[in-house]
Amino acid sequence: MAISALVEWIIREINRSKKEFIVTIDLSDKAAKPVPLYAKVKQAIVEKIYTGEWKPHDRVPSESELVKQFNCSRMTANRALRELTAEGFLFRLQGVGSFVAEPKGQSALFEIHSIADEIEARSHRHSCKVLKLAEVTANMTQAAELAIEIGTFIYHSIIVHYENDIPVQIEDRYVNALAVPEYLRQDFSQQTAHDYLSIVAPLTEGEHIVEAVAGDARSCRLLQIEENTPCLLISRRTWSKEHIVSSAKLLFPGNRYKLKGRFSS
pLDDT beyond 60 at 33: no
CB atoms within 10 A of CB 224: 16
CB atoms within 10 A of CB 205: 12
Give residue-wise pLDDT tens across range 69-107. Answer: 999 999 999 999 988 888 778 888 877 889 888 765 544
Q: Please state, in angstroms and rounded to a whole number, the distance separating the CA atoms of residues 213 and 255.
A: 12
- Contact at 8 Å (CB) between 158 and 171? yes
Domain 37-100: which CATH number of 3.40.50.150, 1.10.443.10, 1.10.10.10, 3.40.50.12160: 1.10.10.10
Give residue-wise pLDDT tens across range 108-141. Answer: 444 567 888 888 888 889 999 999 999 999 999 9
pLDDT beyond 80 at 44: yes
Q: Please state, in angstroms and rounded to a whole number, the distance separating the CA atoms of residues 9 and 263.
A: 49
Give residue-wise pLDDT tens across range 1-26. Answer: 454 555 455 555 545 544 443 434 34
Domain(s) labelled CATH 3.40.1410.10 in the chain stretch across 115-253
CA neighbor of 208 nearest in space, from 259, 257, 168, 139: 259
Average pLDDT value for the chain: 81
Domain(s) labelled CATH 1.10.10.10 in the chain stretch across 37-100
Q: Please state, in angstroms and rounded to a whole number, the distance separating the CA atoms of residues 107 and 168.
A: 11
Say what the pTM is.
0.59
Return the CATH fold of 115-253: Chorismate lyase (3.40.1410)
